[in-house]
Amino acid sequence: MTKRLTAAQAIIEFLKAQHSARDGSRQPFFAGCFGIFGHGNVAGIGQALQQNPDFPYYLCRNEQAMVHTAAAFAKMSNRLRTLACTSSIGPGATNMITGAALATINRLPVLLLPGDIFARRNVAPVLQQLESPSTQDVSVNDCFKPVSRYWDRIYRPEQLITALPEAMRVLTSPAETGAVTLAMPQDVQAEAFDFPAELFENRVWTIQRPRGDAALFNIAVDWIRSSKKPLVVAGGGVLYSEATATLARFAAQTGIPVAETQAGKGSLPYDHPLALGAMGVTGTPGANILAREADLVIGIGTRYSDFTAASKTAFQNPDVRFLNINVAEFDAFKHSALPLVADAKATLESLLEALRGFQVEPAYRERANQYRLQWDQEVERIYTKQHGPPISQGEVIGVVNEVSAPEDVVVCAAGSMPGDLHKLWRTRKPNGYHLEYGYSTMGYEIAGGVGIKMADPSREVYVMVGDGSYLMMAQEIATSIQEGIKLNIVVVDNHGFSSIGGLSRACGSEGFGTEYGVAVDFVANAASLGAEVVRAVTRQQLRQTLVAMRSARKTSVVVVETDINEKVAGYESWWDVPIAEVSGSELVRAARSGYVEAKKKERYYL
């Protein structure tokens, strides 16, 4: 049997029939489609969406933002669900490229359906077409190739019969997932074909839990048993695998302390006796000291970014070895590790059994707990500093953390806030800490908050955004109002780019180009987009406002000024930011001297 549909109609029919399943739980893989219509998709994908009201359509304000929303939705869903995104050709499509890069770098599944130029070519050059004198087989959508995990241009409707299953293969792969782009020429979207009816039958894609190689697993057990100072570095793979409870049992049974990457924060609750907290450049003293001394680093679901590995200076034990548990072979082999290409939860369950009777020395376990207790005291000191006004950013984080419930979610992405949150936020429940730090994209925060709330409406979402990021994509406040998606937004106004300003001064460049020359009325701006807005000056005012915001029925914003010069310190770590080798500035020359010395600690792990 066949179904006569246009290419666009076939895509929507197919997406409606796709499901994912893991551990006996099944759910529709696509929760709908975000989009902005133009001449490149309004008569194709737009018409198909209109005729499928059971497949929700959402209107956003910016094409980049809608991809951020889809990525956040997928992350909050542990990659078991996502959203599709459609745009017109030209600038509508290229606006999505930053979002595609974010999704691919963070290994988050999103499906992109950008309109494209005519496949039949006879009316070229069409509006917004990029012409090339060397080929007619190119459009701006070719820019998606390096930032997509799968890319295809659909020249004929029947190509969807093979392209759509391939797209799903990548989207549902724990190892290969990321942005999938199907470029859709606008004439092909409207063309009809007799598709096989089987293409639109319900299909369940089982998310696998690979167990890894048995011989390598046995070696891993021996390595752990022979180690004296092992350390777990928990990455995002722990959360995506839903392995947090298993990791807690593993730490308790073995006594091995756990440090967390940005993506892995929340792998253990902050008050677990073996939770060292943040690792690396934005890490805690305990995590970085034990990393420096570790003889065995057990990386679980981490890709060892330079912030985690402190630009290859974090692990200084001359005899350090790496054991990596990762579904992605590419990441499992990093640092010349013993690679267990396997699921985090499944592997930890097997290790619990294989390591019965093994524990680290009691003194090592206790040392880790003491570092945790000392850090908790430091966090409390920063939370209650009583600085200003204007108050410090650390105090703002403390007030939000105090007011929020354990199941609530904090979201951030760029600026100085992610580093402070990584160190200071007391995460109590899995997925309560949502940082986009693989690409650290300014403007992600509010759009991401929309996706988080869509994924789990039962949890309050606190968007913490600096003034710089806010100005890049504040308009998604209007999207949240339009769709009835309630967010609690904290705009931290420090009159500039605090993170890069601090880095500039550390490099001897005196904050050049990082302070605003104009005052912005963020209260008026947010109110114009439909939000309820309050300005807070003191800690007490901020707390009272946040308490009131919890019971609000629509998106609310609090604007709080902070002291750009009152920063949270770095602890026992370093980040490689090259400084000019020759300069007429004495400050730059002094910074260069310190840089040269610090760089000597960088290592190759062979």
Across the chain, what does the average pLDDT equal? Answer: 96
Output the pLDDT for position 505: 84
Q: 214-374 in CATH: which number?
A: 3.40.50.1220
Output the pLDDT for position 509: 83
Mean pLDDT of 262-285: 98
Higher pLDDT pick, 512 / 366: 366
Output the pLDDT for position 161: 98
Output the pLDDT for position 503: 81
Closest C-alpha among 440, 434, 470, 475 to residue 455 = 434
CATH of 384-561, picked from 3.40.50.970, 3.40.980.10, 3.40.50.720, 3.60.150.10, is: 3.40.50.970
In this chain, the answer to whether the domains covering 2-206 and 214-374 adopt an identical fold is yes
Q: How, if at all, do strands 18-22 and 25-28 pair?
A: antiparallel
Output the pLDDT for position 388: 86
Rounded to 5°, the CA angle 296-299-305 comes to 115
Per-residue pLDDT reduced to its tens digit, 185-238: 999 999 999 999 999 999 999 999 999 999 999 999 999 999 999 999 999 999
Closest C-alpha among 161, 199, 167, 162 to residue 182 = 167
**What band does 439 get if pLDDT is binned at 50, 70 and 90?**
very high
**pLDDT surpassing 90 at residue 243:** yes
The SS3 call for residue 266 is coil
Q: What is the helix (H) or strand (E) element at residue 16, kind and residue range?
A: helix 7-16
The answer for residues whose C-beta is within 8 angstroms of residue 378's C-beta and 6 or more apart is none
Output the pLDDT for position 92: 97
- The separation between the first and the last C-alpha atoms of the chain, rounded to the nearest angstrom, is 58
Per-residue pLDDT reduced to its tens digit, 300-336: 999 999 999 999 999 999 999 999 999 999 999 999 9
The answer for residues whose C-beta is within 8 angstroms of residue 403's C-beta and 6 or more apart is 543, 546, 547, 550
- Count of other CB atoms within 10 angstroms of residue 403: 19
Q: What is the helix (H) or strand (E) element at residue 348, kind and residue range?
A: helix 344-354
Output the pLDDT for position 106: 98
**pLDDT surpassing 80 at residue 464:** yes
Mean pLDDT of 250-276: 98
Angle between helices 362-383 and 417-424 in degrees, nearest 10: 130
Per-residue pLDDT reduced to its tens digit, 127-177: 999 999 999 999 999 999 999 999 999 999 999 999 999 999 999 999 999
Output the pLDDT for position 66: 98
Mean pLDDT of 248-275: 98
Please report, rounded to a whole number, the percentage of residues in the chain having pLDDT higher than 90: 95
Output the pLDDT for position 512: 86
Rounded Cα distance between 261 and 300, Å, is 10
**What band does 495 get if pLDDT is binned at 50, 70 and 90?**
confident
Angle between helices 7-16 and 160-171 in degrees, nearest 10: 40
Output the pLDDT for position 497: 83
Alpha helices in 457-550 (DSSP H): 467-473, 476-482, 498-506, 522-528, 539-550
Per-residue pLDDT reduced to its tens digit, 11-51: 999 999 999 999 999 999 999 999 999 999 999 999 999 99
**What band does 502 get if pLDDT is binned at 50, 70 and 90?**
confident
Could you identify the residue written with the tokens 């967390």?
260
Output the pLDDT for position 249: 98
Output the pLDDT for position 511: 79
SS3 letters for 437-483? CCCCCCCHHHHHHHHHHHHCCCCCEEEEEEHHHHHHHCCHHHHHHHC
Q: What single DSSP character describes residue 494?
A: -
**pLDDT surpassing 90 at residue 496:** no
Rounded Cα distance between 342 and 352, Å, is 15
* Angstrom distances, CA of residue 382 to CA of 369, 490, 545: 20, 18, 21
**What band does 508 get if pLDDT is binned at 50, 70 and 90?**
confident
**pLDDT surpassing 80 at residue 498:** no
**pLDDT surpassing 80 at residue 385:** yes
> Can you give the residue ranges of every domain in the chain?
2-206, 214-374, 384-561
The CATH superfamily of 2-206 is Thiamin diphosphate (ThDP)-binding fold, Pyr/PP domains (3.40.50.970)
**pLDDT surpassing 80 at residue 80:** yes
Output the pLDDT for position 478: 98
